[in-house]
Amino acid sequence: MNLRRTMTTCRALAAVAIISGMVLTVAGCGGGDDNGGPKAESSSSASAGKESDGKRGASPAPSTDKVLAESKDGDVSVAINSATRDQGGFVTVSGTVRNDGSGSWLGADWQSDERELAANGGSLSGASLVDEQGKKKYLVLRDTNGRCLCTKFSRLRSGESATWFAQFPAPPEGTTKVSFQVGAMPPAPLEISEGE
């Protein structure tokens, strides 16, 4: 039984590594319009980037229509809008973070204590999903260079909010109820939905 679980985990991690590599390859293939085509589309993309406070590499905005869970620590609050199990053997959790304090927030207390993830700075690298029934804790996935598969935050000024995402290994198929934990925030219970 233990060997089967180990092999399943190894396959899942290999699948995540392959998918991550393919995503990074596809992202690297994108670029400017080299064939001299119309520039109107790229300027509208640029103005959309400015509206999101100019944050490079920001994750796509999650649907804020539905809030699965919320948690608050002092002046910083987190809303979770989606927790989706993907076919590649991982769960993507996304939502928003809001700073209602008088000063700026960097997410420094959300980073991981692991030496491998130290270069991620203010990010969700310290987040986890906890399966209380299965008695397991799932840490944020990382690529081969030690970068977490999660949002890295820039300064969040007073009254501002930002979208975020984090990817975790998927709990077993029958497990749908987990808790999201990050920093000193209280655990936020949520339910995992099946992806397309």
| Three-class secondary structure assignment of the chain | CHHHHHHHHHHHHHHHHHHHHHHHHHHHHCCCCCCCCCCHHHHHHHHHHHHCCCCCCCCCCCCCCCCCEEEEECCEEEEEEEEEECCCCEEEEEEEEEECCCCCECCHHHCCCCHHHHHHCCECCCCEEEECCCCEEEECCECCCCCECECECCCECCCCEEEEEEEEECCCCCCCEEEEECCCCCCEEEECEECC
Q: Are strands 188-191 and 136-139 parallel, antiparallel or unpaired?
A: unpaired
Task: Kindly state whether residue 3 falls inside one of the protein's structural domains.
Answer: no
Task: Kindly state whether residue 178 falls inside one of the protein's structural domains.
Answer: yes
Q: Domain with 142 in it: what CATH number?
A: 2.60.40.10
Average pLDDT, the chain: 73
Q: Which of 50-54, 101-105, 130-134 has the highest mean pLDDT?
A: 130-134
Task: Kindly state whether residue 93 falls inside one of the protein's structural domains.
Answer: yes
Task: Kindly state whether residue 49 falls inside one of the protein's structural domains.
Answer: no
Task: Give residue 10's pLDDT band: very low, low, confident or very high (50, 70, 90).
Answer: low
Task: Kindly state whether residue 175 falls inside one of the protein's structural domains.
Answer: yes
Name residue 42's amino acid. Answer: S
Task: Kindly state whether residue 19 falls inside one of the protein's structural domains.
Answer: no
Say how many domains are in the chain.
1
**157 within 8 A of 43, measured Cβ to Cβ:** no
Instruction: Check whether 97 has a pLDDT greater than 80.
Output: yes
Task: Give residue 178's pLDDT band: very low, low, confident or very high (50, 70, 90).
Answer: very high
The larger pLDDT score, comparing residue 48 to residue 156, is at 156
Task: Give residue 105's pLDDT band: very low, low, confident or very high (50, 70, 90).
Answer: confident
Instruction: State pTM to two decimals.
Output: 0.63
The larger pLDDT score, comparing residue 88 to residue 108, is at 88
What does the pLDDT read at residue 109? 73
Task: Tell me the residue range of the domain where 80 lies.
Answer: 57-194
What does the pLDDT read at residue 54? 37
Task: Kindly state whether residue 29 falls inside one of the protein's structural domains.
Answer: no
Task: Kindly state whether residue 32 falls inside one of the protein's structural domains.
Answer: no
